[in-house]
Every structure is written in structure tokens, then in C-alpha cells.
């Protein structure tokens, strides 16, 4: 494991010490876990933004919209008449 020298304002050091003590871990472990938590959060947000961008691109793609309409039509054609109004049950 490598060492890293960080400088924090006193209020962050105090708050992190209290949190670490409440959790029964060292300040270093608390900071490690905090950084891991934020990296995971950032990764999830990046993934969500990529998914949103993909959906936005699909909404603008005439090829995708045509293919989607064809799939919808085929689905409806393949549902038997009695199921058409209640196919989701």
C-alpha cells in the first residue's frame, strides 16, 4: 500500500475523526472507505449518464425508431385477439 499526504481543514479532520470513532475504525480507514464510496458513486453516475445519452441518441435515430415500430407491430400481430387488452397480466 502506498502512502499519501493530504491536507484538510480542521472541521473535516474533526468530523472524520468522530465518524471513524463511531464506526470503530481508524481515520485512515474511514478516508479510504470514503474515497472508495465516492469512486463507486462517480462510476454509477457516469454509467447512468451514458445510458441517458444512449436513449437520447435512440430517440433521434430514424433507423432505430423505424425498427422499434416494426417490433411493436410484430408483437401486436403475434398476440392473440383475446390477449390484446390484457397481455401484461
Q: Is residue 64 part of a domain?
A: yes
Task: Indicate if the alpha-carbon torsion angle 41, 45, 46, 47 is positive or negative.
Answer: positive
Residue 85 CA from chain centroid, whole number: 34
Q: Could you read off the pLDDT tens digit of each residue along the chain, which spans 89 residues?
A: 899 999 999 999 999 999 999 999 999 999 999 999 999 999 999 999 999 999 999 999 999 999 988 888 887 777 766 665 666 66
Number of domains present in the structure of the chain? 1
- Is there a domain that residue 5 lies in? no
For 26, the domain range is 12-79
Residue 73, domain member (yes or no): yes
Amino acid at each position: 500500500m502506498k502512502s499519501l499526504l493530504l491536507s484538510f481543514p480542521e472541521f473535516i479532520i474533526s468530523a472524520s475523526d468522530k465518524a471513524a470513532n463511531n464506526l470503530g475504525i481508524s481515520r485512515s480507514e474511514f478516508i479510504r472507505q470514503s474515497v472508495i464510496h465516492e469512486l463507486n458513486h462517480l462510476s454509477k453516475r457516469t454509467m447512468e449518464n451514458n445510458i441517458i445519452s444512449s436513449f437520447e441518441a435512440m430517440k433521434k435515430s430514424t433507423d432505430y425508431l423505424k425498427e422499434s415500430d416494426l417490433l411493436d407491430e410484430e408483437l401486436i400481430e403475434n398476440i392473440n385477439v383475446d390477449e390484446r387488452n390484457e397481455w401484461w397480466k
